[in-house]
Amino acid sequence: MSIYKLLTYAIILAIFMVAISCGQEQSGDPDARTGSIALSVKWPEEGRSPSSSRPVRRMLAALPGVVTMRVIISGSGMSPMQMDFDASAGSGTITGVPAGDNRTADIQGLDSVEAMLYHGSVNNITVTAGRTSDAGFVTMTYIVPTTWVSGTIDSAGSVGWYTSIALDSGGKAHISYWDRTNTNLKYSTNASGSWVATTVDSAGSVGSYTSIALDSGGNVHISYWDSSNTNLKYATNALGFWVAATIDSSGDVGEYTSIALDSGGNVHISYYNYTNYNLKYATNASGSWVMETVDSAGLVGEWTSIALDSSGKAHISYFDSTNHDLKYATNASGSWVLETVDSAGWVGQYTSIAVDSGDNAHISSGGGNLKYATNALGSWVATTVDSDGSVGEYTSLALDSNGKAHISYHDDTNNDLKYATNK
């Protein structure tokens, strides 16, 4: 074989190998599309300015509470990534980061129960495929820990069942609850500077399934169940004194109440009709109380929760006991529209609903797992948030100013209180 043929074969082979290499990069090989981010941290001591920060290796004696350095990488076109490092290392490398510009590293210094004591971040990190980007030293800022204060508000008998809480514009608490000993509806507030407990309604066995809301003037409105007469009742101190009234007495009605007020101070209540196994709704928006059946398709309406949108229209989540589904009803269009939100297994109990600034609904529910559903993208999307054991009872959901969900709930397996957020 001549030297020319050998050279020709060598060139062809080289071209072939380059083609294979390029094909591998385009075939979806993750290593060809990801890189790494390396960073180190400086921890300031409490009360010190960032300029006094020193590398963590020289600060360990001053930071006995920091156990974990949690790094969360985020950016356009990628899902957030989280990696935890031993805080004593003072540095870490996050691998498998999708290549791209404007990556952000959010660093948290956590204690043994994952409470954040320090925080830092670095922006505009460029990640190049197959390379490690050095984000340098990140200066951490001390976060003043929140101290929980708890105390007994009312100890007169067996009290504190079916609680509901609302805050006024001054941040003072208003709590409705059931006095089981005397079977009364009670209310406590610290608006005067100290806790004052009041019996609101003592006419028979009343006060379970309470729900509380405040109007713009700070007046209290409470919905609850009258178990003696199996009626829906409502109480308010808007006139300067407590007035309790029966709202619906058409059968065994009024369990699982939920109350909300619109911008005009009108009351909207969702509740369960046990006689007919229906979801009902009551409002005084017209000037007098009007009750209507919202959903009567099977056994529906337990575990109701109500929220109002920017137009004062109602959004209600509830349990479909016939099909074991999560359902949702709204009159935002002018008439009631019913939807099955989640039908994947036994779902939809213990619901809680909130509406964001765009009038999108967000719902938490339980029934073995904690689930979350929203129609913020135009159609309903249901997600399992926690499936570690039997979890998700007695959920309560709130949205922050960014529309992110925060959920409290019960862990029945371990008898614990749990919290979840997508913040």
pTM exceeds cut of 0.85: no
Q: How confident is the model at residue 52 (pLDDT cuts 50, 70, 90)?
A: very low
- Asked if residue 48 belongs to a domain, the reply is yes
For residues 199 and 179, give the distance between their C-alpha atoms in angstroms, rounded to a whole number. 9
Question: Which one of 107, 142, 177 terminates a domain?
Answer: 142
Cβ neighbours of 37 (radius 10 Å): 23
CA angle, residues 363, 247, 197, in degrees to nearest 5: 75
Which structural domain, as residue segments, surrounds residue 89? 32-142
Q: Which of 108, 142, 176 is the last residue of a domain?
A: 142
CATH of the domain at 49: 2.60.40.3540
- pLDDT tens-digit profile of 222-245? 999 999 999 999 999 999 999 999
CATH of the domain at 265: 2.120.10.10
Q: Is residue 179 part of a domain?
A: yes
Q: Do residues 284 and 180 share a domain?
A: yes
For residue 101, pLDDT beyond 70: yes
Ranking 41-45, 99-103, 220-224 by mean pLDDT, the lowest is 41-45
Q: Round the average pLDDT of the chain to a whole number and report it.
A: 87
CB atoms within 10 A of CB 193: 7
Q: Note whether 134 and 179 are same-domain residues.
A: no
Regarding whether 189 and 40 lie in a shared domain, the answer is no
Q: Do 214 and 312 reside in the same domain of the chain?
A: yes
Instruction: Report pLDDT digits (tens) over 373-403.
Output: 999 999 999 999 999 999 999 999 999 888 8
Greater pLDDT, 113 or 183: 183
Residue 378 placed within a domain: yes
Q: Which tokens belong to 255?
A: 């369990």
pLDDT of residue 67: 85
Q: What's the Cα-to-Cα distance from 272 to each of 296, 338, 341, 421, rounded to whole Å? A: 11, 16, 19, 29
Domain count, the chain: 2
Task: Give residue 61's pLDDT.
Answer: 31
- Tell me: do 356 and 219 sit in the same domain: yes
| Alpha-carbon span 353 to 351, nearest angstrom | 7
Clarify whether residues 204 and 124 are in a common domain.
Answer: no
Beta-bridge partner residues of 208: 225
225 with 193, same domain? Answer: yes
Residue 42 has what pLDDT? 79
Q: Is 342 found in the same domain as 259?
A: yes
132-139/34-43 β-pairing: parallel
**Among 24-38, 118-132, 338-352, whose mean pLDDT is lowest?**
24-38
Distance CA 375, CA 354 (A): 12
Is residue 27 included in any domain, yes or no?
A: no
In this prediction, residue 56 carries a pLDDT of: 37
How far is residue 125's CA from residue 348's CA, in Å, rounded to a whole number?
42
Contacts of 289 (CB under 8 A, 6+ apart): 247, 248, 282, 283
In a domain, residue 1? The reply is no
Does 44 or 271 have the greater pLDDT score? 271
Same domain? 69 vs 210: no
Phi, psi of 356 (to 5 degrees): -85, 180
Same structural domain, 232 and 290 = yes
Q: Are residues 107 and 191 in the same domain?
A: no
The answer to whether position 2 is within a domain reads no
Tell me if 7 is assigned to some domain: no
pLDDT above 90 as % of the chain: 66
pLDDT number for residue 79: 82
Identity (one letter) of the amino acid at 276? N
Name the domain boundary from 110, 142, 174.
142
Residue 42 lies in a domain: yes
Statement to judge: residues 105 and 235 lie in one domain? no
Distance of CA 266 to the CA centre of its chain: 26
Per-residue pLDDT tens over the stretch 128-145: 999 999 999 888 888 766
